[in-house]
Structure formats: C-alpha cells, structure tokens
C-alpha cells in the first residue's frame, strides 16, 4: 500500500493522482493530479462547471475515490476514509450551520462530532472566538450574524479539531467586497501556522502571486504552479480568460 511507505506523496498535505469521475457516462474529472505541500495556499481555480464541486465531493469522501488516488497527509481516502477525514477541515459552499441555534451551540455540535471532550471543546471554542473577535457573541443565534461573521465562524469551526488541511469550496460566495477581502486575508494567514489550504474559486482577485494554483478546465488540470510564475507578465484575469476561453 502506498500509504505505508514514505514518499513525496505521503509528505504532501494532499496528493491527488490520476483521478477520474463521470456522471452517467459524461466525464466530469479526467486524470486530475496535483499535490499540495504543508503550509501552502493553493487555489483551485476554474470557471463554473469546470469540475471543482465534483472534485471537492471526492476530496471530502462524499464520492469515494479508488484506493491510492486521494491521499490526505498520507492517509488514503479510498481505503481509510475516516483517518483521511480526521486530518481535514472543510468549509462547504452551502451554509452548514443551524440559524436558530447559538454560535457556541453550533461550534459545540461540531466539536463533539469530531469527538473532542467538553473541556477541550470549551477551551478551543473560546480561543477561536477570541481570535475572531467574536467572544461576546458566543450566545447569539447564528441567524443574527452577518454573512462575513457566519463564514468566519464556519472557518473557525472547521479548524477546531486542528486539521493540517483546510478545504474551502467557494467560501466567499454571497459576501460583500470588504468581507470577501477579510476572509481571504484571514485564510492566507492560517498558512503561517502550517495549515495547507485548498481554496476553490472562480474569482482571481482572491489570489496572491506567492500562492499555488491548479487551474481546472473541463474536468482536467489545464495548468499548475505558483501564480506569479504561471501568469508571467500577464494580469491573472487575462491569463485566466486566455486559458479558459469564453467559459470564464
């Protein structure tokens, strides 16, 4: 088994090799391969319909990959999905909180789902809320928070069990420009703590030149590398449009 031996794939926070998937015979992902190093911010860039959501579904185990295709910190999602899932935090595109329950209750629910003890959960939740400047809002219902705060809460929640990999599926959808910029900066900062981030988006202004990039187009990896290197002298937006044509 590949997960048993040390190799560059095992050292990666996330390694995908030769991933294929079809919906009813129609290919959605074709031979997708890339790796994400620890502490790196990697944008999964692609126009709508490029296969980002399907790829996210496979990476989070909602569609189970074949053995050896998806490794999360060396754990094979195809053979040992629970161990692979334990090492990742996920922020889904759709909201996944209970609006009618408090911020603390939502966070506690997730912490317990991950198996954290009450005391440990209390400590980490207090820490996370303090870091977000939301300590005094713990008792408020999530429905009372604005979109940006809800997203921040979801990101904090996805990190409660201290995963080394954070997956975010178009996390800024529906947010206004300042909230979008704040969330993007916040998640970039997380990489300083060694967390690897895979950020699915179709918005190029969320990327920095120092970020990694995997361009998904029509289910295939059309380009990969550091943003600054792949775009060359072109503005990223122009490069993106040139790569994906009218679809962007």
Partner 1 sequence: MTALRAATAILTREVARFLTQRERFFAALVRPLVWLFVFAAGFRAALGLSIIPPYKTYITYETYIAPGLCGMILLFAGMQSSLSLVNDRESGTMRLMLTAPWPRWFLLGAKLVAGAAVALLQVAAFLAIAAAYGIRFSPAGYLAAIPALVLAGLMLGALGLFLSSRVRQLENFAGVMNFVIFPMFFLSSALYPLWKMQESSPLLAMICRANPFTHAVELVRFALYGQVNLPALGWTVLAGGLFFALAVWGYEPARTRPARGEG
Taking CB under 8 A as the criterion, the residue among 12, 14, 16, 21 binding partner 1 is 21
Dist CA 226 CA 195 (whole Å): 17
Q: How many residues does the chain have?
A: 248
Q: How would you classify the pairing of strands 165-169 and 88-91?
A: parallel
* Partners of 34 in beta bridges: 16
Dist CA 223 CA 169 (whole Å): 19
Q: Closer CB to partner 1, residue 139 or residue 178?
A: 139
Taking CB under 8 A as the criterion, the residue among 36, 116, 156, 195 binding partner 1 is 116
Name the segment binding partner 1 (CB under 8 A); options: 25-33, 44-52, 178-186, 223-231: 25-33
Residues 34-93 that bind partner 1 (CB under 8 A): 58, 60-66, 69, 81-83, 85-86, 90, 92-93
Q: Which of 61, 1, 70 is nearest to 34 (CA)?
A: 70
**CA 87 to centroid of chain Cα atoms:** 12
Dist CA 200 CA 42 (whole Å): 9
For the CB of residue 99, give the shortest distance to partner 1 in the complex, in Å.
Answer: 10
Question: Coil, helix or strand for 33?
Answer: strand
Q: How many residues bind partner 1 (CB under 8 A)?
A: 45
Cβ atoms within 10 Å of 25's Cβ, excluding its own? 5
Name the segment binding partner 1 (CB under 8 A); options: 16-24, 127-135, 174-182, 227-235: 16-24
Q: Closer CB to partner 1, residue 72 or residue 227?
A: 72
Taking CB under 8 A as the criterion, the residue among 12, 16, 19, 196 binding partner 1 is 19
Which stretches of the chain bind partner 1, using CB under 8 A?
18-22, 25-27, 29-31, 58, 60-66, 69, 81-83, 85-86, 90, 92-98, 100-101, 105, 108-110, 112-117
């Amino acid at each position: 088994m590949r997960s048993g031996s040390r190799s560059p794939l095992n050292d990666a926070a996330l390694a995908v090799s030769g991933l294929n998937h079809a919906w009813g015979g129609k290919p959605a992902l074709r031979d997708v391969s890339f790796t994400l190093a620890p502490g790196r911010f990697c944008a999964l860039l692609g126009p709508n319909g490029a296969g980002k959501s399907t790829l996210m579904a496979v990476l989070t185990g909602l569609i189970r990959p074949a053995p050896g295709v998806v490794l999360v910190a060396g754990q094979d999602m195809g053979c040992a999905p629970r161990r692979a899932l334990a090492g990742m935090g996920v922020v889904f595109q759709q909201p996944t909180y209970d609006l009618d329950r408090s911020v603390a209750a939502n966070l506690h629910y997730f912490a317990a789902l991950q198996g954290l003890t009450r005391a440990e959960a209390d400590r980490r939740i207090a820490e996370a809320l303090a870091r977000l400047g939301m300590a005094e809002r713990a008792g408020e219902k999530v429905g009372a928070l604005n979109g940006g705060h809800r997203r921040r809460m979801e990101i904090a929640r996805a990190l409660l069990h201290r995963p080394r990999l954070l997956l975010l599926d178009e996390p800024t959808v529906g947010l206004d420009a300042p909230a979008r910029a704040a969330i993007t900066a916040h998640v970039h900062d997380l990489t300083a703590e060694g967390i690897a981030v895979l950020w699915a988006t179709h918005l190029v202004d969320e990327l920095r030149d120092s970020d990694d990039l995997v361009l998904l187009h029509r289910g295939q990896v059309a380009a990969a590398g550091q943003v600054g290197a792949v775009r060359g002298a072109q503005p990223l937006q122009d490069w993106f449009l040139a790569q994906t044509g009218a679809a962007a």
